[in-house]
């Protein structure tokens, strides 16, 4: 009888699903100014140096050229991936200057799913994209990282269209998702209010500090957001203003995900 009881107890333990453990992720958003630097001297070592210094797990990069003339025909995602020893992923927004222009992701994780989402825009406006990168963490959690760069015009028409598209795309999302990038929208703008329908901005002073321009920043337009806010906490949030490598401040956050 004792042996039967032990077997039943053992089988009941096996029947209980394993609970995934929390994960800590350091993420960065970095508008790289198509590799040019603010001095126009095209210094990929300096850009990679900033990334290496802060050692993020994932980087969202905006204004990324792929084999354009102005970028000396370099494949910027690949070059920066090599210099940081991270996996590069590229999302073309449009063809430009003999090559392509768009967004990129650098990841320390191998990716289980990727998608380039073309965002809506007016016919006379610059095309934009959102790069989705899904990965499984060491703790077994599956997380999505969505890197984007919304329209830059003063009028919000295109940004609102793009924000609406992102809300529709992710409103029923079951995966924990980070939305990150140069959104060209201040925290109290109509664009951000629309995104807040799905995504949460950290409720801390640092997350509202100005990020543009990198010399004497005046407005907050580079953001790190996430859905399922009850499962995320922010360990650290930092604005890095290097007025040589780019005209935007770089934003780095350490996030804890608790499934």
Contact present, 58 and 108 (Cβ < 8 Å):
yes
Give mean pLDDT, residues 229-258.
Answer: 98
Whether residue 18 is predicted with pLDDT greater than 60 in this model: the reply is no
Whether residue 58 is predicted with pLDDT greater than 80 in this model: the reply is yes
Order of all β-strands in the sheet with 113-119: 113-119, 128-136, 142-149, 177-182, 222-226
E-state strands within the chain: 23-31, 58-66, 87-96, 99-107, 113-119, 128-136, 142-149, 177-182, 222-226, 232-240, 250-257
**Beta strand 142-149 with 128-136: parallel, antiparallel or unpaired?**
antiparallel
Give mean pLDDT, residues 54-73.
Answer: 98
Predicted confidence at residue 4, as pLDDT, reads: 56
Give mean pLDDT, residues 70-94.
Answer: 98
Give mean pLDDT, residues 184-207.
Answer: 98
pTM: 0.92
Predicted confidence at residue 14, as pLDDT, reads: 47
Distance of CA 18 to the CA centre of its chain: 29
Whether residue 126 is predicted with pLDDT greater than 50 in this model: the reply is yes
**Angle between the 44-54 and 76-84 helix axes, to the nearest 10 degrees?**
50
Predicted confidence at residue 13, as pLDDT, reads: 42
Record: fold of 20-257 = Deoxyribonuclease I; Chain A (3.60.10)
Residue 205 CB-density burial (10 A; 0-12 exposed, 13-18 middle, 19+ buried): exposed
Work out the mean pLDDT of the chain and round it to a whole number. Answer: 94
Q: Provide the residue ranges of all domains of the chain, joining segments of one domain with +.
A: 20-257
Predicted confidence at residue 19, as pLDDT, reads: 67
Predicted confidence at residue 214, as pLDDT, reads: 98
Give mean pLDDT, residues 222-234.
Answer: 98
Give mean pLDDT, residues 37-50.
Answer: 96
Predicted confidence at residue 20, as pLDDT, reads: 80
């Amino acid at each position: 009888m004792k042996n039967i009881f032990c077997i039943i107890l053992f089988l009941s333990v096996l029947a209980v699903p394993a609970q995934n453990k929390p994960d800590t992720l350091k993420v960065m958003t970095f508008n790289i100014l198509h590799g040019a630097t603010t001095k126009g001297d095209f210094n990929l070592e300096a850009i990679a140096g900033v990334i290496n210094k802060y050692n993020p797990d994932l980087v969202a990069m905006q204004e990324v050229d792929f084999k354009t003339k102005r970028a000396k025909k370099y494949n910027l995602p690949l070059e920066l991936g090599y210099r940081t020893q991270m996996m590069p992923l590229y999302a073309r927004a449009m063809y430009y200057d003999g090559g392509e222009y768009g967004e990129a992701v650098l990841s320390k994780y191998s990716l289980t799913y990727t998608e380039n989402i073309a965002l809506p825009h007016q016919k006379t406006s610059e095309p934009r994209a959102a790069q989705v990168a899904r990965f499984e963490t060491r703790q077994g959690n599956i997380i999505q990282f969505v890197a984007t760069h919304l329209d830059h015009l003063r009028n919000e028409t295109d940004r609102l269209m793009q924000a609406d598209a992102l809300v529709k795309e992710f409103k029923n999302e079951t995966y924990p998702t980070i939305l990150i990038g140069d959104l060209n929208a201040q925290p109290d703008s109509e664009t951000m209010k629309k995104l807040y329908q799905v995504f949460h901005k950290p409720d801390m002073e640092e997350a509202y500090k100005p990020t543009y321009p990198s010399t004497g920043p005046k407005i907050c337009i580079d953001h790190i957001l996430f859905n399922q806010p009850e499962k995320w906490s922010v360990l650290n949030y930092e604005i890095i203003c290097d007025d040589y490598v780019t005209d935007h401040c770089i934003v780095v956050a350490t996030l804890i995900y608790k499934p």
